[in-house]
Structure 1
Amino acid sequence: MEVQLLTPDVTHEYWTMYFDRSVMAPGPGAGVVLISPDGSRLCYAICLHFLASNNAVEYEALINGLCIAIKLRATRLYVHGDSKLVIDQVMKESSCTSPLMIAYCQEVRKLEDKFQGIELHHVPRRDNDAADFLTKLAAKRKPSLSGVFINDIHELPVCTLEGPT
């Protein structure tokens, strides 16, 4: 007699995400750390190959992290970032003033709809050191370390180029 073990469905448990940005030579970089419900860590260094402000790179980190979480089939997510401005804009505690920031914020809202539960939290910079390390790795264009995924982005997403709709 064969016994089949049920695979636990972890899609309804919370994942945790940390994101950060760095704008330094030779180019801007973003870092994302995703922690699965079972504690597994996935680290992403995102190299941006276009000029961008600190806030734009912070949004790139957040948006890329959300897209990665969606691809990993995470349905519930705790998001932590050290940019109070970006967190406040997404949480509607602060308004966006530039068309680019409005477009970025709208893109985050579209992605939020793909989760059953999502919470964004501001954390002090000292509590975001793993994502910060990845941003510097990406910004310096250093070769990948074992266990770190490198994503290269060569242009702003179409949604942000078109501006708000």
Structure 2
Amino acid sequence: MAPSSGARLVLISLDGSRLHYAIRLHFSASNNAIEYKALINGLRITIELGATRLYVRHNPELVIDQVMKESSNKSHLMAAYCQEVRKLEDKFQGIKLHHVSQKDNDAANFLTKLAARRDSSPSGIFINDLHKPSARVLEGPI
């Protein structure tokens, strides 16, 4: 687990406008937990912006499969993150999740490096600092 990691978001409106977010995690998290945090924060931000329909291009495929119910969660923490995503999905009239490979995601790759470096953000990039996980671990069998 990485002690200080970064996640990234690129929000694109229908007119092509882009909002860039780098999320700095100040706690240990697995790669899948980091990807869930990016997805959860992206959903929260788009809710605040008033979006009603959403098309999400996300990596890794495991997170997309779990959220789309094509794969089961083997970890209580991942199940909790998945449940958090499902709660946020209900706030949209329509949402579609699609896997995109890491190599085909240049803007997000840049933001990940920026978040991990802890440098000050360039103009036009929003930084979110998170100091604790947002999902509670579920008890009992998954």
Query: What TM-score, normalized to structure 1?
Result: 0.80
- Check whether the contact 1:27–1:140 (CA below 8 A) recurs between aligned residues: no
d(CA) in 1 for partners of 2:137, 2:103: 35
Partner of residue 16, structure 1: none
Aligned length: 140
Shift, 1:164, TM fit: 6.2
TM-score (norm 2): 0.93
1:38 is displaced (CA, Å) by 1.4
Choose 1 or 2 for highest CA Rg: 1
8 A contact 1:31–1:44 mirrored in 2: yes
SS in 1 for 2:80: helix
Deviations 1:61-101, CA, capped at 9 Å, x for gaps: 00000000000001000000120100110011110011100
Listed as ranges, the matches of 1:119-134 within 5 Å are 119-134=96-111
Aligned mate of 1:58, from 35, 60, 66: 35
SS of the residue corresponding to residue 92 of structure 2 reads coil
> Does the CA contact (< 8 Å) of 2:76 and 2:137 recur in 1?
no
Secondary structure class of the residue paired with 1:79: strand
**CA deviation map 1:108-164 (0-9, x unaligned):** 00000000010000012122121121111101111101100000000111xx23536
RMSD: 1.6
Structure 1 unmatched runs, 5+:
1-22
Structure-to-structure mapping, 1:23-34, within 5 angstroms: 27-34=4-11
1:32/1:43 contact within 8 Å kept: yes
1:98 alignment partner in structure 2? 75
Matches within 5 A, 1:79-94: 79-94=56-71
